Amino acid sequence: MLNFDIYDALDKEPDEEWISRLAERIAKVIATRIGEFKRSKELRLSMIGRCKRYIWYHAKGYEPEPLHPAVRLKFLFGDIIEQLLIGLIELSGHEVTDCQKEVELNGIKGHIDCLIDGQLYDIKSVSSRSFEKFVRGLLHRDDPFGYYAQLAAYAEALGMEPAGWIIMDKQLGHVAVVEAKYEYLPNAKEIVNELKQIVQQDDPPERPYEPVPEGKSGNMKLPTECSYCAYKWHCWADANNGFGPRVFLYSKGPVFLVKVVKEPNVKEITQQCKNGV
Ligand code: SF4
């Protein structure tokens, strides 16, 4: 099994060539993530499974929420983990090819992570909670980043069937190989065509999510998908009678309230969140 091979690779003696190749790839991802952070308005295959309203804001050039440096570091750390995994897969004796190969589906471009022994896998570094969801086969029920659609798009672009994901729990170091279930793979060409129409529209599509209660106070908050979204300030600008979301720092982390019936007894950090500090 590939995941046990990855663990076994930790006991192998890497040669100079392997070390240089890994160092070069890691240096490349670090160089890409450090420096001025630019977001492109371009639609990419990696995004096609996301909220359609998110795609509309993205394509129309709306200013996304500034990323806190800690979030940028987290993304960089995730990229490094993914390169490390690819390196360990190579070291374990599997053939890794087509790293970062550009693919295209109905005019929309993307880059695959790699093929492993000729099979299409996407490599992901994930939280412990997300790892659990992957290994229990529940991704199709809660897939806010659209991993199934992303994999389907790469597979359709390459004209092959996808194998699945190789994931690592970035908190605990657990690795798993998760098979993509064919019944949950969407038709990526249809999604791409629909998105191309959506981004031509003057108005965004309807919000697909509803606010959820925050405890029993009557206060309502953004659902998880929206609280992580870079366009939430635009999307929920009508919340709180036109003020927009208000952010309160609870011990469990920030909560984005869209209706405040009872003022929370914790610090409000709305402005800091809007400024990304
Ligand atoms: S805030 Fe929620 S509904 Fe709005 S674009 Fe983001 S994910 Fe979609």
pLDDT digits (tens, 9 = 90+) for 108-159: 999 999 999 999 999 999 999 999 999 999 999 999 889 999 999 999 999 9
C-alpha 47 – ligand 1 centre gap (Å)? 13
C-alpha 266 – ligand 1 centre gap (Å)? 25
* CB 55 near ligand 1, within 6 Å: no
Model confidence band, residue 94 (pLDDT cutoffs 50, 70, 90): very high
* CB 209 near ligand 1, within 6 Å: yes
Q: Whose CA is nearest to atom 2 of ligand 1?
A: 226
38: pLDDT strictly greater than 80: no
C-alpha 20 – ligand 1 centre gap (Å)? 42
Q: Which tens digits make up the pLDDT trace of 197-215?
A: 999 999 999 999 999 999 9
Please give the number of the atom of ligand 1 that sits closest to the Cα of 223. Answer: 2
What's the pTM value of the predicted model, to 2 decimals?
Answer: 0.89
* CB 50 near ligand 1, within 6 Å: no
Max intra-chain CA distance, the chain:
63
Please give the number of the atom of ligand 1 that sits closest to the Cα of 209. Answer: 3
C-alpha 206 – ligand 1 centre gap (Å)? 9
37: pLDDT strictly greater than 70: no
Considering only residues 201 and 276, tell me which one the structure prediction assigns the higher pLDDT: 201
Model confidence band, residue 269 (pLDDT cutoffs 50, 70, 90): very high
Q: Which tens digits make up the pLDDT trace of 204-249?
A: 999 999 999 999 999 999 999 999 899 999 999 999 999 999 999 9
C-alpha 135 – ligand 1 centre gap (Å)? 27
